Every structure is written in structure tokens, then in C-alpha cells.
Amino acid sequence: MKKTREKIICFQLQILIMLLIPIFGQSQDDKRFTLLKSSYTGVNFENTIKSTKDKNILLYANFYSGAGVGVGDFNNDGLQDIYFAGNMVQDRIYLNQGNLTFKDVTKEAGIVDDDGWSAGVTIADVNNDGYVDIYVSRELYDYNPEKRINLLYINQGNGTFIESAKEYGVDDSQRTRHAVFLDYDRDGFLDIFLLTQPPNAGILSEFIGSNKQKAESHVRLLRNTGENSFEDVTEKAGVKRSGYPNAVCTADLNNDGWVDIYVTNDFKEPDFLFMNNKNGTFTNVVDSSTGHISHFAMGVDISDINNDGHLDVFVVDMVAEDNFRLKSNMGGMDPEAFWRVVNKGGHYQYMFNTLQLNNGNMAFSDVAQMTGMGSTDWSWSNLMADFDNDGLKDTYVTNGLLHDIMNTDADKAVADFIDKTSYDWILAHPDGGGITSIFDILDLQKAVNMVPSNPISNYAYKNKGNLQFEKVMDEWGLEQKSFSNGSAYADFDNDGDLDLVVNNVNEEAFIYRNNSESLPNSNFFRVKLKDGKNRPVFGARVALFSKEGMQIQETTNVRGIYSCSEPIVHFGLGENQKIDSLEISWPNHKKTTLKNLMVNQVIELDMDKAVEPQKNNDSPTPIFKEDTDSKAIEFVHQENIFDDYGYQVLLPHKMSQFGPAMDVSDINNDGLEDIFIGGAQGFSPVLYTQNSEGQFLKSSQTFWENEKAYEDLDALFVDINGDGYKDLYVVSGGNEFPAYASFYYDRLYLNDGRGGFSERIELSGAQESGSIVKAEDYDNDGDMDLFVGGRHVPRQYPLPASSILWTNDNGKLVDNTNVLAPELKDVGMVTDAVWADYDNDGDSDLIIVGEWMPITVFKNDAGKFSKTPIKGLENSSGWWFSIEKGDFDQDGDIDFIVGNLGLNYKYKTSKEKPFDIYYDDFDKNGSSDIVLGYYNSEKHYPLRGFSCSSQQIPGLKTKFEKYDTFASLELDQVYGKRNLEESLHYEADTFASSYMENLGNGSFKLSNLPHLAQLSNINDILVDDFNSDGNLDALLVGNLFVSEVETPRNDGGTGLFLLGDTKGKFQTVSPWESGFYARGDAKKMKPLMVLKKPKIMVANNNDQLQIFDLHKK
């Protein structure tokens, strides 16, 4: 009995010890993650890098780029193991012993130690034997290509590996950054896509005016023959493209069942987005699929970030969030270089992270700025996964560079040091002294130490839904400062949450334990996908349905940079207790469906047991469809070339590209609608008349050719002279001429009653650079009067412009502004206006919006207008572009939709921390200067960096000799508090596009439109009951392609359909559902009837006209 009791006590102690093992060697807290000590985990790998004469950052651009980490179950024991790549140290392999402890088996496994520079790790079953193998990508070593040969370790199933790259034909020696395994041709065998880099390609690119890249410096696609060998099909497959590739991720981006490839490129080379053509070939569609991309693109991951059933693409770059690091590591802006890349066939590239939201039609909108994840410093690996098990995918980003080689002051110091070293040597040794390299005489360590070395925290963001993310490094226990590169996730301890492993430079690797299993609302569901040979299946899509909606995951081989995460599908489920259904779409086009599953389990499914899917033809007909009929108008707007920045260096965006004007009316009273479309300066406007066959014929009147000197910003068909025929008023604008030049005069064309117009009548009273014209009989005398908005004072941004009130006096337009609305003088930079009786007093009031303006109401009092303070609009200053009216809540008064800059731009603002502008002659040189201010944390800084700021005000170069000095100073320290106080000053309170609800008591309530309406600015709004349900809906178009080159252009808008209800609420309908897809720089939108069929026209700046059929239900 005593022995039995001792056995029980001993067993209980063993259980207690096992329970305590996971917490040994670590501090306990309630944070999401815990960094485990190497003394506990057994993982003491450190990627140590040291500068030497033949290996250093001055020779190799990749010297500080670090290495990756791969995760896989090497011995099929159900535990995920780890392989670390080393640059100047041996690679190491660690077997998982359970409870987050690992054993180093590098020597026993047969891992090569030949001083090669390993970069990427890829894990896959190459020879179809049921055991995962390891492919190691290697680079550097210009002088010894043998050490660059990639390695393929074939798993023997007994704990050992045999290096077999040559036998399989994958012993590439062309500087491979990473590789990915994929079955691109769906033959059941894993092929290989290699990221091959040229040496220091940043100086060899065709995009900087030279093309010295070697012929072999291109990515490679190797097809698996099925006989343990590979053949090069790069050229045949259409992927023979050169760049400077950093990372790759594969996934089915257009939902056609075939895997596509996204490749990030560093320096000036645009990324590649290879769309699978389903015939063994690919087409690079990055230009047509994205509005812009990252510049120095690093890691990439693909996942469904917003649970809409479409896979999104997250790419990281290297711009700092912190103001000091941002400005001290920022070189001079170079618009010429930017446009050289674009004009040579490159893309719009900006030094920010991009999160490309998939719109469902192989078109993407970058939403990184909206999510707050646009700046994560010098980033490397990025992972999208549900780290807190709440059903929403979070992000983790590694970053850091051993030395800040972009630090402008340090770069100059190093260059000066090298020059002095060379000069002193030559003085002492005129014959050269027998040296063969600068490194024979240079104090290399001293040069390296001149460059700052600042470890920083990796970034973690919690997904809060609706594209809103919160930084949670500190809250989650991930705040450690480091120089981190490759990273991967896996459930190492099989407790239902995702742990992290990170490969660091000059520091031991991080192993983070995820503590979600001990935190509330952390249910999960995991799926292992295998085939009949026990191989992990890549390219399968898993859709999970629960009461919270749908989640999808797609299995892929690599994520982030240089690294592989676990090949297991992981779903967080929060507090959900049950899964309604699970659908797996396999790469062989078969399906598996399971229903009524319990949470908190791991299941394993076999592709060979899947079945043929049932055909489903129930897809609804979209309300809109783009009209590509031959009868459609073949109009392409052409923009003239004009350099606004030649007059104002620090303009936030160009002021010369806001056309075209467009209006629709029946000009000859034949019952058919006709069209006027304005031209840019140097291009004639066009008048089209519709015939009985629905064709549009260009006007034969020749005088329209003489109107090309003007820039047409808006147009309005309106009967001015009361003859029953619509005349034409055209607003002139732009920035091409000095202020008040005659080319800014608006023009009136009188209808001759036969479908033609008289030559222009210049309205010299309208000499502002204008924006819009709106008609209303505001004096109730039976004819139409006009409001014309002044957009800006040319070449003097942001001086306020004056607007005009035209009174129609028996067919003659009389400027009565000073008499009826004197406050319209210098009212601001007006972009749009609407006439509406907002207070239901029987007369039309005027509401105007503009850039750096609040929503401004001019109340009509017996035909006179006064600016009226309105409750609810006190803090409404913004960059407004449009306004439209409608009784959206059906309460009998007029509400409004107001289009703003949106929440997806680099500029952020709030009432407490406003984005602002100052304008004055700060350096007293006779010309006024623009100074933009922004808040970084709690401090107010200049927005622009030292280089461009001193280009505007050269005196800054003598006042501040170093970039670091300028970077450390707040706005008033740079420009002087008194100088700023005495300047013209505007602030923006909000950039959110808004619904302006009329409360019926002379006040309004301003609320944000849905988040998908915030992806870009809204330039025009069309209100109607498009789906015939009795509620007013809205169509939105926008974008702003003319930002200065340091700011990503606002191109996330793709046109948006808002379904209204009776409560003033709106439901967004995505382009792939609605059929309304307008992703150009859309400026105007008009309804049009053609042969009694409704259509919608969208006029795009510098692009073709779009026409959509409207299928009303």
C-alpha cells in the first residue's frame, strides 16, 4: 500500500513538472506572447555577421539582409521543427521535443558547413516520399560561385538528409535570394520558382538610364518532370524578367483555381505579378492590377485580410514611422528619377508598405495608409495570421538593419573618410604603394562605426475589423528591440495558437510562445491537408463558415521573406462554439465539404478522397455593366504636360489636372440626350449629338478647335436667354497661366436652336481659376441664375480664391456677388457646391465645400446670402471634393453626402492633431513659401524633409548643416513661432468622406461613410434609386493621381455603389458584385439615356471615357 501511494505521489509530481515545464526560463504575465529563453528552448542559433575585407556592406548591398527560417515536421512526429539559414555561420536544424523545447541535430542530420552564404529556406516534399525536404537558397560571393550553389537536402526518413541539388538539376549558382515550390501546371508535381538576383542591381537598372544586367540575371521557373528532375521553362512560361527580387508568395489571386505568383523587387525595379494563363504560361499584370506599388519592396504575404473571400497582398518597404528616423534617413526627392521609371515602362512606386486589397476582379487597391500599417521602418518579413484567435487576421513585421546605411549625414561622413584615406595614401605613395583595393588601406571598422546602429522593435498589429488595425507590440509582449529578418509561425506546442520564430542578426533567434489558449475567447480550428502520399498540399483553398461569417485560407509554400511557416491551415474563432461548414477546394479542382464541426480540434483531410464539385450557376446579375459596344463614344481625355512644381516646389499635389468637364442635355429638343466633354489646355473640347440609332456624332462646328487654349473644368447646359434651348456655360481653370490671365475667363455659348452654338462669349468677370458651376433660380424670377466656384489662385497655393454669383437679368449674366453674397470674396478653394433648401423655408440656400475649407452654408434671405454658422459643422474643415443632396432617411428634409480626401492617404488629421499649412515669404526673398505641418506622436513637425524644404527655402541649408539636426526639430523651431503665427494658416479637422444628416432644426450630424468609401477621395456623386427598392442610393467615383512624388497617389478608389435604406445608412456593394468598376482618375459622372436605356458615364482625367449600362430591377 505504501509503495502504491509512493507511485501515485511520484506520478503526480511528474504531471506537475510537465505542467510547469513550459514556464521554466520565462517570466509570467498576461501578455499575448512570451519570449522564451534559449536556455529553456535549446535554440541558441545566432546569425552573426562581421565585416571583413572581402565581405562588407561597401561591397555587397545584401550584406545586412539577414537570413530566413523554415518550419516543417521533418520526422513526421506531429511536431513542427525548425531550420535556420546562416549568412556567415552554419545553418542549423532543430527537432521539436515538445513543450517548445528543441534539440540541435545539425551534425547528425548531415547539414553542410562550407562557408556558403545561406539566405532563404524552403520546405517541401520534393521527391514525393511523404517526408519534407529542405531547399536552401544561397547568394553573395562574387569571387567564388561554387559557394553560391543552392542546396537540396533530401529527407531520408531516418533523421538524416542527403544534399542532392546537382542530381535533381536545381544546383543554381546565380545568387538566389529565395525559392518557392508550387504546382503551377497542376500536374501533381511541385515545381520551383527561383528569385535570382544580379550583383548590386540597384546601379545596373535600365530605369536609371543604363542596362548592364547580365543575361542570366532573371528569375527562373523550373518544371518538375515527375522523375526527380527539373527542366528550365523560364522563357517558355513567359517569366523571364530581370529585377532585384527579394521575396515571393504564390496564391490564386483571381479565383480561377490556378496559382499566381507575386514577386517583390528592390530598388527601382517594379514588382512582378504573374497571372497564371492556365496553359503553362504567365502574364505580368502588375501595372494593370495595381494603382501603385512599394518602391524598395521587401517581404510579401498573401491572405484574406478582411474576410471577403478574396486574397489580399501585403508588401513591406523600409520607411520609418518615427519622424527623426524618417527624416535623417531620407535623401533628396528626385521627381525626374520617379518619372523616368514610369515613362520607361516601370510603375508608380513609393517608399511605403502596400496592402493591396483584392477587389475581386484581379484589381487591387492599396489600403496600407488606411490601416495605419504603411510605415514599419526597414522591414523584412511580414506575416498575416490570426495570432489572437478572434477570427481576424493580424500582422507581424520584422525590421531593422545592423547599420543605418540610408542615414544621409553618415553616408557623407563615410564618403569623406574614404576620400581622405585615398588622398593621404596617394600623397605618401605616388606609385600606388602596391595596393590592389581600397580595403588594403581603409580602416574598415572605423568606417562602419561611423554609421549609426539602432535596433528597433518589430511591429505587430491587431485586426479590429473594417480595415482598422492597432499597434500591439507592447501589449502583446513583442516589444524587444532587434535586427530581425526572416520569421515564421507555427503551433510548436500544439495548444491551438500560433507561436513565432524569428531569425535575428547578431543576436539569438527569438522563440515566442503564444499564450492565447489561456486567454478568453480564443477558440480555434486547424486543418492538415495531405494527399495520398502524405505530402502537404499547396494551392488548396479552405473556406470556413460560422455565425460570424466566412473565413478563407489558402495553403502556400513560403511567406514573408526567406522563410516558410507551418503548412497547416489555422482559423481563430473567438467565442464561436461551432462551425457550420468547411469547404476545401483542392488544386485538382475537386472538393471536400464537412458540416457541423466542433471547435478546438485539428483534423486531417486527404485530397485523394475529394469529390467532383456540383456546378452552381446562381450568380446574380450585376446592376451595372461596362458598355464596350461599338456605338459607345470613343473619347479619350488627354492632359497637357505642365510642371506645377516648377512654380511651387512644395505643392502637396498638382493644381493643373482636374478636368475634364462634362455635361449631358438634349440640346436640339429631339428627345435624345447629347454630350459635351471639355479638353485640357492644348486640346479641344468635344460636342456629341445623339442620333436615332443611339450613335454619337461629333459636332461639325469648327470653332471648337479654337477653344484649346482653355482648360475646361466644368460645364453646364442651361437656358440662359429663355429661348427654350439649352445654352452652354464652361468654367475655365487650371494652373498653366499666371493669376487672372484671360485664359481663365469662363465662356458662354448660346444655342442657335439647330443643335449648334455661337462662338464663345468671354465672361471677363469670371477670371478666377474655377472649378464648378451650379444653376438655380435663387431670386425666384423664372430664369436660372448661376454660382461659379473659384478653385484657387494660380501658382499661389493655398491663397483663397473668390467665387461668383451670376444673376440672370433677362438673358444677361450680371455679377452681383458684392451685392448679394460679399462673403464669397476670398471664400476659399472651392471644389463643389449644391443648391438646397436645407432649412425648409421655401428658398434655395447654397452649400459649398473645398480644399482647406469647412462645409460652408450660405443662407438665402430674400435673395441675399450670408455665411451662416451651423451646429454640427463647426469642426468640418477638410479637403472636400464633392457634395450631393437627397432625403436619404426619408424624414422630409434634405441630407447630403460629402466627398472628402478619404482615410487612405499619407496625410492624417484630427481636430486634436490637425494636418495644417502655412503660407508666407519666410525667407524674405520676394516669393511666398509653403510649409506643411503634421503630428508625429504628440509633436508638431514639418511634413517635408530637409532636402526638399531647403530647395524651397535655401537658407535652411546654412541654418541647419545636418539632416539629423533638421530631423530633431519641431515646426516652430525650424521656421520660428512668430513667423508661423503671422502667416496664412489653415487646418484640416477631418479627411473622412461623410454623411451629413439634416436633424430638421437647422443643425446637422456628420458621420463617416462606410470604410470602403474611404479608400480614396470622392470627386463626384450620383444619387438615384438604382435598384428600384424605394430608397435613394449613391454612386461614388474619385481618385487623385497628381500627388507629389513622395506621397503615394490616391488611386484606391474603384467606384463604389452605396445601397441606401430608410435610416440614412448605406451598405457598400463591391465592384465585383455591382459591376461598377471605375478605377481611373475619375472627375465627373453623369446619367445618360441611349435608346431609352439608362447608362452612367464616367469622365477620367487623361484616360478614356467609361459608359456603364444600368439594369434597374
CATH number assigned to the domain comprising residue 823: 2.130.10.10
The angle formed by the CA atoms of residues 127, 128 and 133, to the nearest 5 degrees, is 55
Task: Work out the burial of residue 641: count CB atoms within 10 Å of its CB; fewer than 13 is exposed, 13-18 middle, 19 or more buried.
Answer: exposed
Beta strand pairing status for 602-606 and 523-530? parallel
Question: Where are the extended beta strands (E) located within 937-1063?
Answer: 939-942, 984-988, 994-998, 1004-1008, 1018-1024, 1033-1038, 1056-1060
In a domain, 684, yes or no: yes
Same domain, 559 and 413: no
Q: According to DSSP H, which parts of 851-954 are helical?
A: 946-952
Identify whether the C-beta of residue 907 lies closer than 8 Å to the C-beta of residue 981.
no
Kindly state the average pLDDT of the residues 702-726: 96
How far lies 581's CA from each of 127, 207, 543, in Å? 34, 50, 8
Same domain, 574 and 665: no
In a domain, 290, yes or no: no
Question: What kind and span of H or E run contains 896?
Answer: strand 895-899
Kindly state the average pLDDT of the residues 554-577: 97
pTM for the complete prediction? 0.95
Q: Which domain holds residue 969?
A: 923-987
Return the C-alpha torsion angle 349, 355, 356, 359, nearest 10: -150
Per-position b or e across 529-556, b if 16+ CB within 10 A of its CB: bbbeeebbbbbbbbbbebeeeebbbbbb
Q: Cell triple for residue 229? A: 528532375
Q: Which of 581, 609, 637 is the last residue of a domain?
A: 609
Is residue 284 scored above 80 in pLDDT?
A: yes
Q: What is the DSSP letter of 800?
A: P
Q: Which of 591, 609, 627 is the last residue of a domain?
A: 609
SS3 category, 707: helix
Identify whether the C-beta of residue 755 lies closer than 8 Å to the C-beta of residue 690.
no
pLDDT of residue 487: 99
In a domain, 798, yes or no: yes
Q: What is the DSSP letter of 525?
A: E
Is residue 15 scored above 50 in pLDDT?
A: no
- Return d(Cα 990, Cα 714) in angstroms, integer: 26
Same domain, 888 and 1014: yes
Same domain, 896 and 968: no
In a domain, 882, yes or no: yes
Q: What is the DSSP letter of 646?
A: G
Question: What kind and span of H or E run contains 884?
Answer: strand 882-886
Same domain, 950 and 1098: no
What are the pLDDT digits (tens) for 597-608?
999 999 999 999
Percent of the chain clearing pLDDT 70 (strictly above) = 95
The one-letter code for the residue type at 444 is L
Same domain, 862 and 884: yes
Same domain, 961 and 1082: no
Total domain count for the chain? 4
In a domain, 760, yes or no: yes
In a domain, 91, yes or no: no
Same domain, 961 and 994: no
Which phi and psi angles does 410 have, rounded to 5°?
A: -65, -40
Kindly state the average pLDDT of the residues 570-588: 97
In a domain, 1077, yes or no: yes
In a domain, 442, yes or no: yes
What are the pLDDT digits (tens) for 857-912?
999 999 999 999 999 999 999 999 999 999 999 999 999 999 999 999 999 999 99
**Terminal Cα-to-Cα distance of the chain (whole angstroms):** 84
Is residue 401 scored above 90 in pLDDT?
A: yes
Kindly state the average pLDDT of the residues 1007-1017: 98
- Return d(Cα 1027, Cα 1059) in angstroms, integer: 8
Nearest CA to 368 out of 431, 285, 459 is that of 459
If you average pLDDT over every residue of the chain, what do you get?
94
Residue whose entry in the numeric block shows the C-alpha cell 475667363:
745
Give the contacts of 636 (CB within 8 A, at least 6 positions apart). Answer: 1103, 1104, 1105
Which phi and psi angles does 400 have, rounded to 5°?
A: 115, 145
| CA–centroid distance for 197 within its chain | 25
Kindly state the average pLDDT of the residues 686-704: 94
What are the pLDDT digits (tens) for 1052-1103?
999 999 999 989 999 999 999 999 999 999 999 999 999 999 999 999 999 9
Is residue 8 scored above 90 in pLDDT?
A: no
Q: Cell triple for residue 764? A: 471677363
pLDDT of residue 591: 97
Identify whether the C-beta of residue 1105 lies closer than 8 Å to the C-beta of residue 677.
yes
Q: Residue 471 forms beta bridges with which residues?
A: 461
Is residue 735 scored above 70 in pLDDT?
A: yes
Confidence of residue 29 (pLDDT cuts 50, 70, 90): low
Note if the bond before 798 is cis, omega within 30 degrees.
yes
Identify whether the C-beta of residue 447 lies closer than 8 Å to the C-beta of residue 58.
yes
Same domain, 844 and 944: no
Identify whether the C-beta of residue 406 lies closer than 8 Å to the C-beta of residue 394.
no
Identify whether the C-beta of residue 181 lies closer than 8 Å to the C-beta of residue 538.
yes
Is residue 4 scored above 80 in pLDDT?
A: no
Same domain, 795 and 934: no
Q: Which of 964, 987, 1010 is the last residue of a domain?
A: 987
Percent of the chain clearing pLDDT 90 (strictly above) = 88
Nearest CA to 35 out of 470, 482, 437, 382 is that of 482
Same domain, 983 and 993: no
Give 150-199 as a 3 state SS string.
CEEEEECCCCCEEECHHHHCCCCCCCEEEEEEECCCCCCCCEEEEEECCC
Kindly state the average pLDDT of the residues 932-960: 95
| Domain CATH code at residue 592 | 2.60.40.10
Give the contacts of 278 (CB within 8 A, at least 6 positions apart). Answer: 256, 258
Identify whether the C-beta of residue 856 lies closer than 8 Å to the C-beta of residue 849.
yes
Which phi and psi angles does 9 have, rounded to 5°?
A: -65, -40
Confidence of residue 142 (pLDDT cuts 50, 70, 90): confident
Same domain, 443 and 572: no
